[in-house]
Every structure is written in structure tokens, then in C-alpha cells.
């Protein structure tokens, strides 16, 4: 069976950007500074080398170095999860073992992409990874990017593995997610900010958020209000975050681009994005700063 903990990695997790120096190298000192800032702001966990962390354009060595640096910076104050997904099962296992050795507390494993494997192959892939390590896995269900869903029935079977404990849910299927939540011990984390509160209300564990790079306290406040039984206040706080969320996540630019643009404007470590991504223009940055200022008001 899966972990009995409803929040195995905490509730408020940030899908952290990977800071780069001006010449494009991974900025490990900057990553440590940003990680400490995020934890100070209420993040229970940091997810490295995911979509927001530009995992497709960082090397295996860079990923391992990043884990070591961030784990050193936050110590036992927050869980450190490492993205290890790839379209190749063998490579994913190698990344998973390296992340565990580098100090990751858990692994974020995305569905194999591009080749569009059938469900029995998807299930076998995740089991291979889970069998290869001693740390828990968070499965990353994001069919809009991978082209392949982790179907609810597949989730139900995978929930029986002792090291498969959580899901980052970007499937946009609240019915399917609720079905799995109700029948397993899997901890479901929203990977889509607009569903943070709805998923939490039906038994979700929390969120893994790109917007948390710049607004973690505000997003966490939504969960705190809900836990306190103040559902109307939770809804109000959730609504206040929507303008910034929409600009960061639904403006036609990747969340990595908007998060790094806003972090940089706020004087926090971020640096440039790696190609093929391109930086946000001045108009976009100004709009982000305006929405951030409105959200930051008491």
C-alpha cells in the first residue's frame, strides 16, 4: 500500500526555476539563495528540474549538482524532490539513482513522452523506476506535454507500490483524480494553479506551483484558510491570485519565462532562460509587476 501520510512532502511545494548566470551556467549559489527564500516564505518542499526548472536543457551533471546545493541550503526544513523523467526508461533509472545519491528526498517522474507508450508500458516504466531506488516517487501526469495520460485505472494499480506515494496532477480531470483519491492513499498535488483549491477541497494534498516562485505565502494562505474551516476566505484568497496566475501561466508564454522575468525584476536569483526559450519583453515584465503588486497588498 501507499504512504499513510496525506501530505508526504508537505502541502505547499514550489516548482523551482533553475537560476543561471548571465553566461548561461547553472548558478548554484543563486539556487541556494532562492531555495532558502522560498522555504522562508512558507514552502514545505522544492521540486527541482521539472518543467519550470528547464530539465530538457540541463545536463545530468547539472541536475545532480543542483540537488546537492539546494539540499545543503535547506537542510531538513523542506523536502527536496528531483525531476528525473525522460522518454527513456533506462536513462530515467540512471537519473533516479543519481538523484537519490545526491540527496533528494523524493523523485518527480514524468510519463515517458514522444513515443506515446500504451498503458501497460507506462505502468511498467514507473515500476522499474520505483524498484530501482529507496526514496518515494511523485508521478507527474501532464498529458498536454507528454502526449500520454496516466489513466485512472493505471494509477489505481500503481498505488499498490510502496514507493509510489504521490501524483503531480496536470491532467485536468477532476473526476478521475477524485476517483483515485477516494480509493487509494496517493497524495494528489495540483500542478495547475487554477485547480489548487478545487483539488484540495476533494481530498488533494496541496500544490506543486510555478507561481509559488514569486507568491508562495499567498498561495499557501489559501490552504491555511481552508484547513481552518474558512472556506469563503479560501475562495476569496484564491480569486485574488488569479490575475497573476493568468499572466504567468496562460498568457502564451511558458511559466519558466514569466517566473524568471518576475524573479529577476524583484531582485531574486533567476537569470536568463536557455534556448529554445526566449526572455519576456519589457511590456510583459511590467504587466507581471503590476499584478504582483496588487497581490502583495495586505
For the question of residue 63 being annotated catalytic, the response is: no
Question: Range with the lowest mean pLDDT among 2-6, 107-111, 161-165, 241-245?
Answer: 2-6
Instruction: Rounding to the nearest 10 degrees, give the CA dihedral for residues 116, 110, 156, 1.
Output: 140
Return mean pLDDT, the chain: 96
Q: Is residue 215 pLDDT above 50, yes or no? A: yes
Residue 265 has which C-alpha cell?
525584476
Q: What percent of the chain has pLDDT over 90?
A: 97
Residue 77 C-beta-side C-alpha neighbours within 13 Å: 15
276 cis-preceded (ω within 30 degrees of 0): yes
For the question of residue 140 being annotated catalytic, the response is: yes
* Residues sharing a CB contact under 8 Å with residue 298, sequence separation 6 or more, in sequence order: none
The closest alpha carbon to 35, from 55, 51, 15, belongs to: 15
* Domain ranges, ordered by start, for the chain: 12-216
Q: Is residue 4 pLDDT above 60, yes or no? A: no
Q: CA 151 → CA 83, 118, 158, 173, 195, distances in Å? A: 21, 10, 11, 10, 19
Question: Residue 297: pLDDT band by 50, 70, 90 thresholds?
Answer: confident
Output the DSSP codes for 248-297.
HHSSSS-HHHHHHHHHHHTT-S--PPPTT--PPPHHHHHHHHHHHHHHH-
CA–CA gap between residue 85 and residue 22 (Å, rounded): 27
Catalytic residue among 63, 168, 189, 226, which?
168
Tens-digit pLDDT profile for residues 183-212: 999 999 999 999 999 999 999 999 999 999
* Residues sharing a CB contact under 8 Å with residue 28, sequence separation 6 or more, in sequence order: 65, 66, 69
Catalytic residue among 140, 200, 226, 292, which?
140
Under DSSP, is residue 107 helix (H, G, I), strand (E, B) or coil? strand
Q: Is residue 3 pLDDT above 50, yes or no? A: no
Q: Is residue 298 pLDDT above 70, yes or no? A: no
Please give the average per-residue pLDDT across 65-94, as a whole number: 97
User: What is 12-216's CATH number?
Assistant: 3.20.20.70
Question: Residue 6: pLDDT band by 50, 70, 90 thresholds?
Answer: confident
Q: What is the pTM of this model?
A: 0.96
The closest alpha carbon to 83, from 109, 115, 112, belongs to: 109
Please give the average per-residue pLDDT across 58-72, as a whole number: 98
Q: CA 83 → CA 56, 154, 271, distances in Å? A: 10, 21, 20
Amino acid at each position: 500500500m501507499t504512504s499513510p501520510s496525506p501530505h508526504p512532502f508537505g502541502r505547499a511545494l514550489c516548482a523551482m526555476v533553475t537560476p543561471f548566470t548571465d553566461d548561461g551556467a547553472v548558478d548554484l549559489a543563486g539556487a541556494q539563495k532562492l531555495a532558502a527564500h522560498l522555504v522562508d516564505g512558507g514552502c514545505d518542499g522544492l521540486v527541482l528540474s521539472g518543467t519550470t526548472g528547464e530539465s530538457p536543457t540541463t545536463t545530468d551533471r547539472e541536475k545532480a549538482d543542483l540537488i546537492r546545493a539546494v539540499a545543503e541550503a535547506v537542510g531538513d526544513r523542506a523536502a527536496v524532490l528531483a525531476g528525473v523523467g525522460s522518454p527513456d526508461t533506462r536513462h530515467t533509472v540512471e537519473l533516479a539513482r543519481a538523484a537519490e545519491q545526491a540527496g533528494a528526498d523524493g523523485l518527480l517522474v514524468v510519463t515517458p513522452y514522444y513515443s506515446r507508450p500504451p498503458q501497460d508500458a507506462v505502468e511498467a516504466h514507473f515500476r522499474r523506476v520505483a524498484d530501482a531506488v529507496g526514496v518515494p516517487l511523485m508521478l507527474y501526469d501532464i498529458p498536454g506535454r507528454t502526449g500520454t495520460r496516466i489513466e485512472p485505472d493505471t494509477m489505481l494499480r500503481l498505488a499498490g507500490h510502496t514507493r509510489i506515494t504521490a501524483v503531480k496532477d496536470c491532467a485536468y480531470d477532476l473526476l478521475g483524480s477524485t476517483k483515485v483519491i477516494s480509493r487509494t492513499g496517493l497524495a494528489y498535488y495540483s500542478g495547475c494553479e487554477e485547480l489548487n483549491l478545487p483539488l484540495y477541497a476533494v481530498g488533494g494534498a496541496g500544490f506543486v506551483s510555478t507561481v509559488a516562485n514569486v507568491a508562495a505565502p499567498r498561495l499557501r494562505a489559501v490552504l491555511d484558510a481552508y484547513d481552518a474551516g474558512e472556506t469563503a476566505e479560501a475562495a476569496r484568497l484564491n480569486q485574488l491570485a488569479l490575475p497573476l496566475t493568468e499572466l504567468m501561466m496562460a498568457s502564451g508564454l511558458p511559466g519558466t519565462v514569466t517566473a524568471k522575468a518576475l524573479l529577476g525584476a524583484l531582485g531574486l536569483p533567476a537569470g536568463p532562460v536557455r534556448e529554445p526559450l526566449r526572455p519576456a519583453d519589457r511590456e510583459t515584465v511590467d504587466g507581471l509587476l503590476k499584478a504582483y503588486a496588487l497581490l502583495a497588498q495586505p
